[in-house]
Amino acid sequence: MFSFFRNKANLVYLHDIFITAICFNLSIYLRLGSDFNSIPQTIIFYGTLIITMLGAIVYRYTGLYKGIWRYASINDLINIVKATSITISAFLILMFAITRLESFPRSVLFINWFVLIMSLSGSRAIYRLYKDKKLFLGSITKNENSIPVLLIGATDRAELFIREMSRSINPTHKIIGILDINKNKIGRFIRDVEILGSVQEISKIIVKLEKNNKRNRPQKVIIANNDLEGNIVRDLLTFTDKTGISLARLPKITDLESDINNEKLKVKPIDVFDLLSRPQALLDRDAMKKFIFNKKILVTGAGGTIGSELVNQIMNYEPKEIIILDNSEFLLYKIEKEIEDKSKKIKINSILADVKNSKGIDNIININRPDIIFHAAALKHVPIVENNPLEGILTNILGTINIADACNKYNVSEMVLISTDKAVNPFSVMGATKRISEKYCQSLANSSKTNFKIVRFGNVLGSTGSVVPLFQKQLENGGPLTVTHPKMKRYFMTVREAVELVIQSATLENRNIQGGIFVLEMGQPIAIIEIAEQLIRLAGLRPNKDVLIKYTGLRPGEKIQEELHYKNEKFIKTKNKSIFVVKPKTESQKKLSRMLKNLIEHAKNGKMQECYKLMSIIVPEYKKTKVENLQNKRVV
């Protein structure tokens, strides 16, 4: 019995039942006043008993008592209105059936409905005000050691942070104002904190705040807007670095700690992903689930950066079976262990194989008969492929041919080829091999029952061998940070966003654009030197003073700036603003197959020069000798 009363939800349940009985009698008194006793006592007694029992049943059924009073909100008020309306309606029907309401004023029921709503919601509101320290002004304390801060973004997260600070006995931060990118919000308030101006006006606003009261000079700027573009975050970091103000952010949903009992919204430091981030793309997740749900999906290169993320996201859409293929035993084991606990209903089939093995790939697809294949297996590191061109040709070109031919042979419904911006006007063997892979899939598009889709995008943040992890490791070692060229720029996207858009692209119809290539909107390219400088600042150090930045010269096959499409390619919009389609010129399948057969034979026989010549014919933009001459002339 004592355990019943130790449960706060049960106490709330008893409270609501008691309030229901009181409100019924109060409503009669409000209607009749001193004539309260004019109603027969039996009607009042049985009326109180009936409405209390009805309330108990309705409150239990609707779960009204389960709401936590400290977090009472509009949703709780709506539930109270619903529960009260059901209770009063049921009471009206019963009382009419028993007494025909002959000796009972019917207006009492309308009064009771209003009084009961006010009583149930009022008790919750008073408790919340008490807990938020708003009920008594004397309960609000100020901490002299609170850090004055400016919030960036008039968002829900900002409101949550302001509320957290206002209810705290010893608040760590004192919010002196908000800045927002929407100028229409200027002059308005969130919980008595004014939106002072736009983000671009931060310098003027800080000077004004300091002029009015030196204690109001912010010591910290906190970003409360998850969708703030990377270039704005980089500008804020540069500004705060010059003025000696620290920069931080409120956590994103994905950063929240797994401890659900920890309700505080903690301030996090800015990291490199904030500097390079862009507004999140809108996704049609229903279409993505429909595309994958209850189907057999094969992912090649499943242990790599893109492949492993593909596997993880595909699992969320409940395929019938997922076939993970990789030539690395360790990476295959790693991704298998990563996903095996996600869902016991989804069959996981791990295959250790090399995409270069034509017979092996044919046999795998014949036996497993997947509905959709995501082909992510490839050699992607430009300098490594440049030094090992024959292996690059066999893995990237022959591997794609093997997968595509098997798809065509066994009528696989969809094949999605993961491509790269390095395939456009390629300067490298890696880029040339990926462009040839695109061409081959395009050449099959018109005659095959398989729907071939190609998705092209730029660099993925945090992938193995990418510039950001390299800089972070160099910074840990005290520098220097190595940049190949002062004008080097790259497109960047997080691996999560890239894979989301790959799957979204796969859902889009392309039958009327045969051979079209889906290109992901990558935003503006970012200077590598700027990333290096910002990373140093994030560590609280000064570029070229505390940590040096060293220029090392362009590596073999590198371009100063990548491109996402050829200049003569026409951009076609899709249903998703973050995905476009370009339609390059397609090759004759027979002619291309004949040249590729020769190219593969030359690669297998180690004839490197013949491979370069043939690649230059298949991809006229790629000229090995021209590339070397251009690179030798560049002075860094």
End-to-end CA distance of the chain: 81
SS3 541: coil
Average pLDDT over residues 582-586: 76
Q: How open is the CA angle 461-464-465, to the nearest 5 degrees? A: 95
Average pLDDT over residues 392-418: 95
At the topology level, CATH places domain 141-270 in Rossmann fold (3.40.50)
Q: Are 120 and 16 in contact (CB under 8 A)?
A: yes
Report the percent of the chain where pLDDT is more than 90.
32
Q: How open is the CA angle 564-569-574, to the nearest 5 degrees? A: 75
Domain boundaries, the chain: 2-131, 141-270, 285-556+565-633
Q: Whole-prediction pTM value? A: 0.65
**pLDDT tier, 336 (very low <50, low <70, confident <90, very high otherwise):** very high
Helical (H) or strand (E) element with 113: helix 107-131
Beta bridge partners of 573: 580
pLDDT at 268 over 50: yes
pLDDT at 621 over 50: yes
201-224 CB burial, b ≥16 within 10 A, e <16: ebeebbeebeeeeeebbbebbbbb
pLDDT at 628 over 50: no
Average pLDDT over residues 173-190: 86
pLDDT tens-digit readout, 201-252: 888 888 888 887 767 788 888 888 877 777 788 788 888 877 778 788 777 6
Enter the tokens of residue 269. 């430091």
SS3 563: coil
SS3 237: helix
pLDDT at 632 over 70: no
SS3 540: coil
Average pLDDT over residues 166-173: 76
Q: Are 77 and 121 in contact (CB under 8 A)?
A: yes
Reduced 3-state DSSP string for 499-534: HHHHHHHHHCCCHHHCCCEEEECCCCCEEHHHHHHH
66-80, 232-246, 351-365, 543-557: which has the highest mean pLDDT?
351-365
Side-chain half-sphere of 613: how many Cα atoms within 13 Å? 6
- Amino acid letter, 312: N
Is-same-fold flag (141-270; 285-556+565-633)? yes
In the predicted model, what is the mean pLDDT of the chain?
82
pLDDT at 636: 30
Which residues have CB under 8 Å from 310's CB, separation 6+? 299, 302, 374, 376, 499, 502, 503
CATH architecture of the domain formed by 285-556+565-633: 3-Layer(aba) Sandwich (3.40)
Calculate the CA 115 to chain-centre distance. Answer: 45
300/402 Cα distance (integer angstroms):
12
The number of beta carbons lying within 10 Å of the beta carbon of residue 3 is 7
Average pLDDT over residues 605-620: 92
- Comparing 34-48, 62-76, 374-388, 427-441, which segment has the lowest mean pLDDT? 62-76
400/437 Cα distance (integer angstroms):
6
